[in-house]
Amino acid sequence: MKRHIASLVVFLAAAPLWAASGETVLQERCAQCHDLTGPAPSTLEELWTRKGPDLFYAGVKYKPEWMERWLQNPSRIRPAGMFYGKHVRTGPDGQDVIDVASLVEHPRLSPGEAEAVTRVLMAKKATPAPVQEGAYQPGRISLRMGELMFDKFKGCLACHQIEPDYGGLSGPEVYTVTERLREDFLVAYLRDPQAFDPKIFMPNKKLKERDIQKFIHYFRALAQEVKP
Ligand code: HEC
Ligand code: HEC
């Protein structure tokens, strides 16, 4: 019995320390590139000099399982980094070429650090615009129809890749987006990207609610199809 009480005391004493260490890692190793408090950039200059995605509403945006995994083994999501204009050169035929040497590797965390940091980030819910629980209703769309919408009808492919090395370079790849981001967040973001990030150059295409749902069906189907 005594032993149980002793281990309980040790556990309770260690818990806050452990929680604090996620906060410490964030302050010491992440805050120089990520905004942890908000608000999002309100001028173009702030947008251009932003070094990493905003994390002050991470808890409404990201899937925690993905985040914990990615922080231990980060891979590139935005093919031309952040901000892409700094990492793209014009190639010999006038096409965009990524200056790979100018891209930096993302810091890598240990499993314990990744768990602690994810826990702290998931508590950050200062969302700039409402995200409605249950807004996404699972459904299906064929890859062919999805691609037609994404490319020909709405022109999204100009900025986003739908498989490695296929699509535009200025936005994040979308074939992993539903592994990374919560679907309910995606509904709100696709409805009005500037509500979350006032200066972002993703156009607001005034998508119909039905098309927003279809795009998310498409991203989920892509994630199944394209395993990078
Ligand atoms: C040198 C700047 C820099 C530092 C330091 C840094 N990051 Fe990042 N982070 C980035 C960039 C740039 C991206 C975008 C990567 C991409 O798109 O490929 C990113 C992406 C992320 C993402 C994915 C977000 C998204 O929307 O794609 C998470 C989560 C993240 N960082 C967390 C952290 C944590 C936690 C730390 C501290 C341990 C940290 N970062 C330290 C620059 C940094
Ligand atoms: C002019 C380029 C451009 C076009 C066209 C564009 N986007 Fe984007 N998109 C972006 C940028 C830039 C971001 C924000 C990236 C960031 O947060 O770093 C973004 C973000 C997104 C995200 C969130 C991705 C993430 O990982 O954070 C999704 C989903 C998305 N766009 C879908 C679409 C769809 C659907 C269309 C067509 C209706 C579209 N985009 C058209 C540039 C574009």
| d(C-alpha 155, C-alpha 219), whole Å | 15
Ligand nearest to the CA of 79: 1
Q: Show the low-confidence residues of the chain (pLDDT under 70).
A: 1-20, 227-228
Residue-level pLDDT at 16:
52
Ligand 1 close to Cβ of residue 82 (< 6 A) = yes
What pLDDT sits at residue 30? 97
Query: What pLDDT score was predicted for residue 11?
Result: 55
- pLDDT, residue 7, reads 62
Q: What is the pLDDT of residue 3?
A: 62
pLDDT in the model for residue 13: 54
Beta bridge partners of 98: 88
- Domains of the chain are 2-73+108-122 (1.10.760), 143-225 (1.10.760.10)
Q: Measured from the CB, is residue 195 less than 6 Å from ligand 1? A: no
Which residues sit opposite 62 in a β-bridge? 181
Residue 189 alpha carbon to ligand 2 centre in Å? 9
* pLDDT of res. 131: 98
Pocket lining: 172 vs ligand 2, CB cutoff 6 Å: yes
How much is the pTM?
A: 0.91
- φ/ψ of 96, rounded to 5, equals -75, 130
Q: Which residues pair with 90 in a beta bridge?
A: 96
pLDDT at 18: 53
Q: Report the residue among 159, 182, 194, 215 best suited for mutation to probe ligand 2: largest number of ligand atoms under 8 A from its CB.
A: 159
Which ligand 1 atom lies nearest to the CA of residue 32? 5
| pLDDT at position 2 | 59
User: Which DSSP string corresponds to 133-156?
Assistant: TT--------HHHHHHIIIIIT-G
